[in-house]
Amino acid sequence: MANGTQTQQGGSKIQFKPRKLATEIQPDAPEGGWEASIPKGKSKIFQTAADKGGDPGVSIAFKLDKAMEEANEPFQGSIVNGRVTFYDQGDPDRRKAANMNLQFMKNMCEAMDIEFDEVYPANLSSPDDLAPFLNAIEGQKVDIWTVHRKSTMGNGEEVINVDIRFKKPGAGLVSKTDDDADDERPGKKKPAAGKGRR
């Protein structure tokens, strides 16, 4: 048609609700806290490409059930994936990545009151070795925090990744209270002796 409106086979016009479109890649979820759950059957076992090591891994689906911040409520019900890769402990080139993945898994198990040693495999030779871990986490509820991390793709385009944390960002920092105002933390200036006294 001249005005650009298309018709379907039955002759009815295609109509849709007007919407704003993104012109840049947007993160899957905003930063913030969530009451989340891990739906059964949604987490997937994968293997990286052969030229990237052929390492096994799990993509864990976190459903954002309830936002802790009112501004994030439109994202309730969304799924955010946490990706974990299992590196061979004998590969020194992957030690840092292996430690980061291991810490993520330990933090997740702790947040869900799951005994890490009972579900985490010491050896991995087939997808069946991950069954105890997946059975333990699927169906669980857990509080998580989503944080943004910028990275650059192979084509040079910058994207925002959504990382998952199991403790509120910044919660581990020491804050000054009246009780510890006079402690001797490194780098803290001590008041000059005798000032204001006679």
- Predicted confidence (pLDDT) per residue in 87-139, tens digit: 988 889 999 999 999 999 999 999 999 999 999 998 999 999 999 999 999 99
Q: What is the pLDDT of residue 7?
A: 54
Query: Which H, E and C letters describe the chain, residue by residue?
Result: CCCCCCECCCCCECCCCCCCCCCCCCCCCCCEEEEEECCCCCCEEEECCHHHCCCEEEEEEEEEEEECCHHHHHHCCCEEEEEEECCCCCCHHHHHHHHHHHHHHHHHHHHCCCCHHHHCCCCCCCHHHHHHHHHHHCCCEEEEEEEEEEEECCCCCEEEEEEEECCCCCCCCCCCCCCCCCCCCCCCCCCCCCCCCC
Which amino acid is located at 24 in the chain?
E
8 A C-beta contact, residue 78 and residue 162: no
Buried b (16+ CB within 10 A) or exposed e, 21-54: eeeeeeeebbebbbebbbeeeebeeeeeeeeebe
What's the pLDDT tens digit per position in 137-169?
999 999 999 999 988 878 888 888 899 999 998
Domain ranges of the chain: 32-165
Q: What is the pLDDT of residue 6?
A: 55
Which amino acid is located at 58 in the chain?
V
